[in-house]
Structure 1
Amino acid sequence: MARTITVPQPPQLDAPLDMATLGAFVRYKRSTLGITLENAAALRGLSKQAAHVVQRCAAIREQAAQLEEVARSAF
């Protein structure tokens, strides 16, 4: 049975590019092309988990960096 691919809203690209925006753009572009995460990973020579990290967890890295910056400025 074929998987249904949900196309997310396009990310705002008029702001400075950060890891969260990059991950959102990769997900948006993959979805608009009708490619599953598994197939995109295979096309890139990555594991499914690595492709997931690029799309979703990039935002976590960006948030962690911002949190670290706030913590450093507080002390």
Structure 2
Amino acid sequence: MQRIRDLAWLRNYSKEDGHVAVTNVSSGYVTLSVMGPRSRELLSRVSPADTQNKLSNSPPPVKSRSAIEWRSRSG
């Protein structure tokens, strides 16, 4: 797994002088990929990101990512 290799690399190359602490927080995050010709339409219904111009129609840079807020519709 990539995150295991990344964590091992960080631990291996970080100084052990008390100035750096490496902690695996991967279990506290999730990635949800929404792709396709109507993905912006879907995301605009569940996120205020459109008002922040994060869902523009211009193509994003290759291998890019963006964090957006997700509104819960439960309740």
TM-score (norm 1): 0.25
Q: Please identify the structure whose Cα radius of gyration is greater.
A: 2
